[in-house]
């Protein structure tokens, strides 16, 4: 029997306790003192959160193993405090069959650092036309419950309606990349406004997101099904989600760490590191997103970790790939932005980074309170540590890190997956 004793951890901010973990399960909580033969993790001054769950990660395998692999992305996730990640379907080939989903699951298990749960594509090849094998993916060993064409919007309302009807049968969910392709085409790359005009960059207006969010919540109401809005980026989308929840519509939403902090004016230097989809927005949107995360309108923080190889990212701004790294910095960004400022307490962080995402994805065994009988998936955080982000220290294979050089308060100290320490102080254990 393997035994782990965690001493003096503050359980999501509710007071110091010891935790005894036997064979991957929490068996005692309280004042334990010592346990003969147990591996000991001293956690005085640290906050213990249920293991972080990321609803939105791009792991790039199969197809772009030069940018990330399931193993390298899992390592970055573990170091970032995650015990489960949902791997987006926009790989090559696309995760649009049961076999493809099972392969991602198996590669995740082989890496063994986090639970890698495949997201299934909504449409074959992400082409937006024919529904993928949603039922077969759900009934496969991968038990797919979250479907997304992320990277692309399911823009045909009829296809979206059919997808929602289909997943309703097994309480699945469609995670939508909300971008009307006519209002914001594939070259749109800068928040539409005075700055996009001045920089001469194709504008990506907030309304291109908001009209899709509004349509989708109405489709969710009509079908009695469940929709999740990926990477919400504007105050207008927040308003729609708030309204829809008040009507009892089954909608959830996520925000990325970068949209909680970074603003469109960073594009003035044409640095492609800051090119992302949806684009960075003005401060008013950032403020609305923070407020919505604090009041529960936005359910979850999701990284949208989007690694890209140098030869795809280091181009003129308009030609560079969209996306930025996020797994290793997410907790520090949320701590610095939401906790240090008093917008969320640690129980709130546990909600938006663990229990809510686990519930949305239907991941049993994750996001559970740290009580007797729960699987020992947890993250220890030093709330006072100051970190300066260094992109070269990353375990990701890519270096498109928008946080490089920033100082943030709050850092992951250790990650535990079913009783096994997977990472400590920025390195694999």
**What is the distance between the alpha carbons of residues 55 and 76, in angstroms, rounded to a whole number?**
15
Say which entry of ligand NCD, Zn ion, none residue 276 contacts (CB below 5 to 8 A, set by partner kind): ligand NCD
Closest CA to 301 of 312, 311, 313, 289: 289
Min CB(76)–ligand NCD separation in Å: 15
State yes or no: 58 annotated in a binding site: yes
Min CB(72)–ligand NCD separation in Å: 16
Q: Would you count residue 64 as binding ligand NCD (CB under 6 A)?
A: no
Min CB(171)–ligand NCD separation in Å: 24
Say which entry of Zn ion, ligand NCD, none residue 250 contacts (CB below 5 to 8 A, set by partner kind): none
Q: Which stretch binds Zn ion (CB under 5 A): 41-49, 107-115, 205-213, 296-304?
A: 296-304
**What is the distance between the alpha carbons of residues 423 and 156, in angstroms, rounded to a whole number?**
43
Residue 236, classed as helix, strand or coil, is helix
**Residue among 57, 252, 277, 356 that touches ligand NCD (CB under 6 A):** 277
Residue 147, classed as helix, strand or coil, is strand
Site string for Zn ion, 159-188 (x = CB under 5 A): ------------------x-----------
Q: How far is CA 181 from CA 128, 163, 213, 327, 355, in A?
A: 11, 19, 13, 28, 33
- Calculate the CA 31 to chain-centre distance: 34
* 194 membership: H or E segment, kind and range: helix 194-199
State yes or no: 226 annotated in a binding site: no
State yes or no: 60 annotated in a binding site: yes
Strands 378-388 and 407-417: antiparallel
| DSSP for 241-309, written as a single string | HHHHHHTT--EEEEE-TGGGT-BGGGGGG--GGG--SSPPB-HHHHHHHHHHHHHTSS-EE---B----
For 167-255, where are the E strands, in sequence order?
173-176, 190-191, 203-204, 227-229, 251-255
Q: Would you count residue 151 as binding ligand NCD (CB under 6 A)?
A: yes
Sign of the torsion formed by the C-alpha atoms of 56, 60, 63 and 64: positive
Closer residue to ligand NCD in complex, CB, 333/417: 333
Strands 420-424 and 407-417: antiparallel
Min CB(398)–ligand NCD separation in Å: 10
State yes or no: 138 annotated in a binding site: no
Q: Would you count residue 89 as binding ligand NCD (CB under 6 A)?
A: no
**Residue among 323, 348, 375, 419 that touches ligand NCD (CB under 6 A):** 323
State yes or no: 231 annotated in a binding site: yes
Min CB(294)–ligand NCD separation in Å: 24
Closer residue to ligand NCD in complex, CB, 26/154: 154
Number of residues engaging Zn ion in binding (CB under 5 A): 3
Active-site residue flag, 115: no
Q: Would you count residue 150 as binding ligand NCD (CB under 6 A)?
A: yes
Q: How far is CA 351 from CA 14, 66, 355, 366, 369, in A?
A: 14, 34, 5, 12, 10
Q: Which stretch binds Zn ion (CB under 5 A): 36-44, 148-156, 380-388, 402-410?
A: 148-156
- Exactly one of 10, 96, 304, 336 is catalytic; name it: 304
Strands 3-11 and 16-22: antiparallel
Binding site for ligand NCD (CB under 6 A): 58, 90, 150-151, 177, 276-277, 304, 306, 322-323
Catalytic residue ranges: 304
Binding-site residues: 56, 58-60, 90, 150, 177, 231, 277, 304, 308, 322-323
């Amino acid at each position: 029997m393997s035994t782990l004793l965690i001493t003096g951890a503050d359980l999501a901010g509710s007071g110091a306790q010891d935790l005894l973990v036997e064979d991957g399960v929490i068996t005692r909580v309280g004042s334990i003192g010592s346990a003969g033969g147990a591996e000991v993790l001293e956690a005085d001054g640290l906050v213990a959160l249920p293991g972080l769950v990321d609803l939105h990660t791009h792991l790039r395998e199969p197809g772009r193993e030069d940018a990330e692999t399931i193993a390298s992305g899992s390592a970055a996730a573990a170091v970032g405090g995650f015990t489960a990640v949902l791997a987006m379907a926009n790989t090559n080939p696309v995760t649009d069959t049961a076999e493809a989903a099972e392969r991602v699951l198996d590669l995740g298990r082989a890496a063994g650092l986090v639970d890698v749960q495949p997201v299934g594509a909504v449409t074959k090849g992400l082409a937006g036309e024919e529904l993928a094998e949603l039922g077969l993916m759900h009934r496969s060993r991968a038990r797919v419950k979250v479907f997304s064409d992320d990277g692309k919007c399911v823009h045909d309302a009829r296809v979206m309606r059919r997808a929602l009807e289909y997943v309703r049968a097994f309480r699945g969910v469609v995670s939508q990349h909300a971008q009307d392709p006519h209002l914001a085409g594939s070259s749109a790359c800068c928040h539409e406004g005075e700055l996009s005009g001045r920089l001469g960059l194709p504008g990506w207006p907030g309304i291109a997101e908001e009209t899709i969010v509004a349509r989708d919540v109405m489709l969710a109401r009509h079908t009695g099904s469940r929709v999740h809005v990926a990477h919400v980026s504007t105050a207008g989308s927040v308003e729609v989600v708030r309204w829809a929840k008040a009507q009892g519509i089954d909608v959830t939403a996520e925000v990325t760490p970068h949209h909680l902090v970074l603003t469109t004016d960073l594009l003035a230097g044409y640095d492609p590191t800051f090119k992302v989809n949806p684009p960075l927005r003005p401060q008013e949107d950032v403020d609305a997103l923070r407020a919505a995360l604090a009041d529960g309108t936005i359910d979850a923080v999701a990284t949208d970790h989007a690694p890209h190889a140098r030869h795809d990212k280091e181009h003129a701004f308009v030609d560079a790939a969209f996306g930025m790294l996020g797994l290793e910095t997410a907790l520090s960004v949320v701590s610095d932005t939401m906790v240090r400022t008093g917008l969320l307490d640690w129980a709130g962080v546990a909600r938006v980074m663990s229990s809510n995402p686990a519930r949305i994805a239907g991941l049993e065994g994750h996001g559970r309170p740290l009580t007797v009988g729960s699987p020992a998936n947890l993250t220890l955080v030093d709330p006072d540590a100051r970190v300066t982000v260094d992109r070269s220290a990353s375990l990701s294979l890519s270096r498109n890190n928008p946080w490089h050089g920033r100082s943030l308060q709050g850092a992951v100290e250790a990650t535990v997956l079913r009783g096994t320490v997977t990472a400590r102080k920025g390195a694999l254990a």
